[in-house]
């Protein structure tokens, strides 16, 4: 059953104004609920449309959240709090959020988290070709054959990876841009070619770049994210 609360108390609880100030707004005819001018004593729920002076009132707890988190090595991308190193407890965000996709425990770098279920498939589905960029360090010297074979597709998990952009950074490190997200894809690709990944860091998802210290996050505006999904 939906909880209902007196309008003045509700506005106070969400931090909009005091009860006394809310009563004044009601008395001055400056509040509508679901398009109707309200009277003193009206009860509302979080589903009601409350408008004050032409502006919709939004409970901060109901707002969509989008954050870009710089995941440290050792943090597990799961919402299961039985996992002692889970990402949810590590971030300790005041609202319920969940990761979009994952980075495995030994990997680090950019991962997005949200409470908006609609955005998840739009980012993760392969056919949308959203880019994810990684910096990878391996245990042996990289040669032109390695770069070429990584770029043109490697047979893993009963399929062949899509062609992708791979660029050598130095003798042991390379940059790779993927548009698909097979399980442990980069590690499996390297393993097939006889290399072991020593360090894997994701630095970009679409146009969102990693620009905060390890273990910290920044908020992303909904408009900025959704504009990339059109």
Catalytic residue from among 85, 104, 118, 145: 104
Cβ–Cβ under 8 Å, residues 132 and 185: no
End-to-end CA distance of the chain: 37
Residue 200 CA to residue 103 CA, distance in Å, equals 9
- Of 126, 128, 119, 100, give the one whose Cα is nearest residue 180: 126
Q: What span, in angstroms and rounded, lies between the C-alpha atoms of 208 and 227? A: 12
3-state secondary structure of 203: strand
Residue 175: helix, strand or coil by DSSP?
A: strand
Q: Look up 104 and say whether it is catalytic.
A: yes
Query: What residues are annotated to the active site?
Result: 104
């Amino acid at each position: 059953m939906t909880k209902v609360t007196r309008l003045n108390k509700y506005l106070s609880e969400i931090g909009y104004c005091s009860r006394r100030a809310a009563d004044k707004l009601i008395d001055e005819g400056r509040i509508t609920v679901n398009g109707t001018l309200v009277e003193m004593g009206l009860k509302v729920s979080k589903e009601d449309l409350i408008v004050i002076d032409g502006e919709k009132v939004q409970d901060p707890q109901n707002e969509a959240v989008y954050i870009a988190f710089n995941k440290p090595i050792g943090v597990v991308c799961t919402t299961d709090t039985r996992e002692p190193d889970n990402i949810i407890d590590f971030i300790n965000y005041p609202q319920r959020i969940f990761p979009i996709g994952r980075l495995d425990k030994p990997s680090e770098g950019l991962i997005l988290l949200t409470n908006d279920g609609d955005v998840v498939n739009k980012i993760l589905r392969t056919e949308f070709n959203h880019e994810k960029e990684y910096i990878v360090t391996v245990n042996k010297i990289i040669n032109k054959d390695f770069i070429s074979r990584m770029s043109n597709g490697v047979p893993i998990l009963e399929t062949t990876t899509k062609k992708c952009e791979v660029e050598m950074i130095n003798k042991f490190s390379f940059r790779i841009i993927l548009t698909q997200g097979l399980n442990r894809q980069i590690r499996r690709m390297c393993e097939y070619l006889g290399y072991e990944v020593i360090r894997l860091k994701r630095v970009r998802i679409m146009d969102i770049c990693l620009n905060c210290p390890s273990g910290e996050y920044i908020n992303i505006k909904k408009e900025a994210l959704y504009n990339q999904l059109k």
